[in-house]
Structures are given as C-alpha cells and as structure tokens.
Amino acid sequence: MQVDISEFGDDTAKELGRILRYWGGNLQHITFEPGQEQAIYDSAYREVGRLAVEDS
C-alpha cells in the first residue's frame, strides 16, 4: 500500500486512519494474487495511492 500524504496537511493522521479503517474492512474482498491493484482515495475522493499485491 502506498499513499501520498503530501496534500493532507494537518489532517494527515485523520486521513490515514480513515484509509486504514476502510481497507482493513475491505481486505476480505480482495484477491491476493500478484498483479491485483486497486486505487486508494481520500475523503474527498481524490486518488492518493494504490494497493497492490506483488510477488515476493
């Protein structure tokens, strides 16, 4: 998971907390296979990162 926090300002902890809570609940719907990717959005629905499953 990569998230660009440069636009969050003083709300960085709040935004990251919201993103992590959302994705924590959403993980059950993800296929954990290499190449799987989904966009990560902030509370204003701007794309701020990606969740990607990579082959180790």
| Of the candidates 17, 21, 23, the residue with the CA atom closest to the CA atom of residue 40 | 23
Query: What is the model's pLDDT at position 39?
Result: 94
Query: What is the model's pLDDT at position 31?
Result: 84
In tens, the pLDDT along 7-55 reads 999 999 999 999 999 998 988 988 889 999 999 999 999 999 999 999 8
Q: Where are the domains of the chain?
A: 2-52
Rounded-to-integer distance, Cα 13 and Cα 11, Å = 6
Q: Which two tokens stand for residue 52?
A: 């990607």
Rounded-to-integer distance, Cα 43 and Cα 31, Å = 24
Rounded-to-integer distance, Cα 23 and Cα 1, Å = 10
More confident residue, 41 or 56: 41
Cα–Cα separations (whole angstroms), residue 23 to 2, 18, 26: 12, 9, 5
Query: What is the model's pLDDT at position 44?
Result: 93
Query: What is the model's pLDDT at position 30?
Result: 86
